[in-house]
Chains A and B, each alone.
Chain A
Amino acid sequence: MTWILYFLTGGFLVLSVLFSRENTKKALAKAWKSFINIVPAFLAVLLLVSFSVAFLPERVIASFIGEESGVLGQILASVLGSLTLIPGFIAFPMAKILVENGAGIAQMAVFVSTLMMVGVATAPLEASFFGWRATILRNGMAYFYSFVVGYAVWLTVAL
């Protein structure tokens, strides 16, 4: 996947150089500047993500929302979904197994929804772009909306 990205970038770079060396230089300078600017925030995010994944392995998450049900289970699911940052290709198969083992549909939908929309670990990065107020606002709204998503999915799956 990544090599496509490199291939594409290389292609555009060559094109850009052919059209104007001056502009290409400018583009690379901009790229370097944005990259350097973002490094501290990225380091913070990676620190938080690595630790949350290490301290909350899938097994632990499963034990939290696999057995419990009801509102408490949903709240737990939402907190876990907000704190962790699990890529979809791991999260979905895991959710499938949990559902097969009797986890509630609503909880699972809340978990998946917060996982995607709410990011506590990525908040520092987001804030470095949009400021803390906008970041808290977006994540807060997404957090509460995830319960709406959970309810809607629970309703339609029950149909």
Chain B
Amino acid sequence: MKRRQILKRWRLPLVSLLIVLPFAFWKPEFGKKALFLLGENILVVLGILPPVFILLGLFDVWIPRERVAPHMGEDSGVKGTVLSVVLGACSAGPLYIAFPVAEVMIRKGTSLRNIFVFIGAWSTMRIPMILFEIQNLGAVFGLTRYFVSLVGILLMALLMDRVLNTAEKTEIIARFQEE
């Protein structure tokens, strides 16, 4: 029983390992480079995660649900959507940090639709990134991509909200509500 739990918990890295191992044997040279990169990446992530999680923990404890839900919850309307876009666009850091942030936002009553808007904005609308993009690829390229992406993010969040049925949604939300 215990062993099965451990296996379940570690199944993702195990599966990933099975995927990458053949490549490592196929081209050991690249495999070595990958291992080096892995070590480097683990160090980078270990450097970022502790403060992020501590901040999230503090947010979780100190900011009551009533302070967030009216602004970003089911009935927050356009204001909630705009706020989600702005929060995502003003963020910094890679997308994988957005997921734990989203978790705390869900726990504080943010609607799933706004969560998907937030994650979309985080992925493609970060302000420092678009400035850098314009610098390199030009304003026409950058701004077109930016605003077409914004339309896409809003559409996709709407669609996600429609396609996922109520059971799935409550399951996602329930997952974060344990305590």
Question: In this assembly, does A108 line the interface, its C-beta being within 8 Å of a C-beta of chain B?
Answer: yes
B50: chain A residues at CB < 8 Å are 31, 35
B16 contacts A124, C-beta separation under 8 Å? yes
A43: chain B residues at CB < 8 Å are 12-13, 16, 42
**Interface size of A by Cβ–Cβ distance < 8 Å?**
75
Given A28-B57, A47-B38, A148-B148, is A92 in contact with B23 using a C-beta cutoff of 8 Å? no
Question: In this assembly, does B20 line the interface, its C-beta being within 8 Å of a C-beta of chain A?
Answer: yes
The residue in chain A whose Cβ has the minimal distance to the Cβ of B149 is A149
Task: Produce 1/0 per residue, A93-135, CB < 8 A to B.
Answer: 1011001000001001100110011010010111011110110
A45: chain B residues at CB < 8 Å are 16, 96
A128 contacts B57, C-beta separation under 8 Å? no
A99 contacts B137, C-beta separation under 8 Å? yes
A50 contacts B172, C-beta separation under 8 Å? no
Query: Taking the nearest CB of chain B, how far is it from the CB of A8, in angstroms?
Result: 7
B15 contacts A89, C-beta separation under 8 Å? no
| Set B41, B58, B96: member contacting A50, Cβ < 8 A | B41
Not counting A42-B49, A148-B152, A152-B145, a sample of 16 additional A-B residue pairs whose C-beta atoms are within 8 angstroms of each other reads A28-B54, A34-B53, A44-B13, A46-B42, A51-B20, A55-B27, A88-B129, A96-B137, A105-B141, A109-B141, A117-B120, A129-B175, A130-B172, A134-B160, A138-B116, A152-B144
A12 contacts B12, C-beta separation under 8 Å? no
A34: chain B residues at CB < 8 Å are 53, 56-57, 100, 103
B60 contacts A27, C-beta separation under 8 Å? yes
Question: In this assembly, does A72 line the interface, its C-beta being within 8 Å of a C-beta of chain B?
Answer: no
A31: chain B residues at CB < 8 Å are 50, 53-54, 56-57
A interface secondary structure, majority: helix
Which B104-136 residues have a C-beta within 8 angstroms of A? 116, 119-120, 123-124, 129, 132-133, 135-136
Task: Produce 1/0 per residue, A29-48, CB < 8 A to B.
Answer: 11110110010111111111
A1: chain B residues at CB < 8 Å are 92
CA distance A44 to B18 in the complex (A): 11
Q: Could you show 30 A-B contacts with beta carbons less than 8 Å apart?
A: A1-B92, A2-B48, A5-B51, A5-B52, A16-B61, A30-B60, A34-B53, A34-B100, A35-B49, A40-B9, A42-B49, A45-B96, A46-B38, A49-B41, A50-B37, A50-B41, A92-B136, A96-B136, A124-B12, A128-B12, A129-B103, A131-B172, A134-B168, A134-B172, A138-B116, A141-B156, A142-B120, A142-B156, A149-B152, A157-B141
A88 contacts B103, C-beta separation under 8 Å? no
